[in-house]
């Protein structure tokens, strides 16, 4: 797939996912970009974080990324025609201290990519809210849970294990608020 200035975040993720897989590299989309796709654009991240599983030679990673037009600049990969960049944060693949994450696969004619499940993407955003008091992450978690089937019992148990039962209840109140009544202070981001 050729990436252009008009390629949306999901399209970039699919192209990168396929490029990695073509060289036998297993990378899982996490973080804000994954949340953005699950939240149906209610939030937009310009950086795509793929956590790699297993050992990967930097030369192989460079080659995979070059195959879709990205070049390495310091610790990120940039594309001359895209506002999105790609990073490969150090693993392991986890949500908070929980290594038991569910990985799903997105596929279409443009490619395929491994990503956190909606439940784990929601937990990932809640972790930012729990540990850094990031209200925007709470709102993104609500957007994910309101647009996808998520396992609220699993999120509740995990929240309790992280020591944040009270904050989980705040998440539930936001999620249960009537449509249009969510106390959001943030507007969806734009690419430019």
**Would you say the pTM of this structure is higher than 0.85?**
yes
Q: What is the mean pLDDT of residues 5-13?
A: 95
pLDDT given at position 168: 98
Closest CA to 102 of 165, 44, 147, 158: 158
Mean residue pLDDT across the chain: 91
Sign of CA dihedral 98, 150, 184, 169: negative
Question: Can you give the residue ranges of every domain in the chain?
Answer: 9-116, 118-176
Higher pLDDT, residue 178 or 170? 170
Average pLDDT over residues 18-31: 97
What CA–CA distance (Å, rounded) separates 74 from 175?
A: 39
Q: What is the pLDDT of residues 83-128, one digit of tens each?
A: 999 999 999 999 988 999 999 999 988 789 999 999 999 999 999 9
Instruction: Tell me how far apart the alpha carbons of residues 12 and 48 are, in angstroms, rounded to a whole number.
Output: 9
**What is 9-116's CATH number, 3.10.620, 3.30.450, 1.20.120, 3.30.460?**
3.30.460
Beta bridge partners of 115: 29, 104
**Residue 182: pLDDT band by 50, 70, 90 thresholds?**
very low
- DSSP H helices, 54-178, are 58-66, 118-132, 135-147, 152-161, 165-176
Q: What is the pLDDT of residue 34?
A: 97
- 45 has a pLDDT exceeding 80: yes
pLDDT of residue 111: 84
CB atoms under 10 Å from CB of 23, counted, come to 14
d(CA 44, CA 192): 11
Supply the pLDDT for residue 190. Answer: 37
pLDDT at 185 over 90: no
């Amino acid at each position: 797939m050729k990436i252009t200035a008009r390629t949306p975040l999901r399209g970039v993720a699919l192209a990168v996912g396929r490029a990695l897989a073509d060289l036998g590299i297993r990378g899982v989309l996490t973080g804000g970009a994954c949340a953005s796709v699950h939240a149906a654009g209610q939030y937009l991240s310009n950086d795509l974080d793929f956590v790699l599983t297993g050992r990967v030679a930097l030369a192989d990673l460079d080659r995979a990324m070059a195959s879709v037009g990205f070049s390495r600049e310091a610790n990120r990969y940039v594309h001359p025609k895209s506002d999105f960049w790609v990073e490969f944060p150090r693993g392991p693949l986890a949500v908070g201290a929980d290594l038991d994450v569910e990985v799903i696969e997105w596929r279409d004619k443009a490619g395929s990519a491994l990503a956190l499940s909606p439940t784990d993407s929601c937990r990932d955003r809640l972790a930012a809210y729990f540990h850094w008091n990031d209200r925007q992450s709470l709102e993104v978690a609500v957007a994910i849970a309101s647009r996808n089937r998520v396992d609220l019992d699993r999120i509740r148990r995990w929240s309790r294990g992280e020591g944040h039962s009270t904050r989980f209840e705040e998440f539930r109140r936001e999620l249960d608020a009537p449509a249009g009544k969510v106390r959001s202070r943030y507007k969806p981001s734009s690419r430019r």
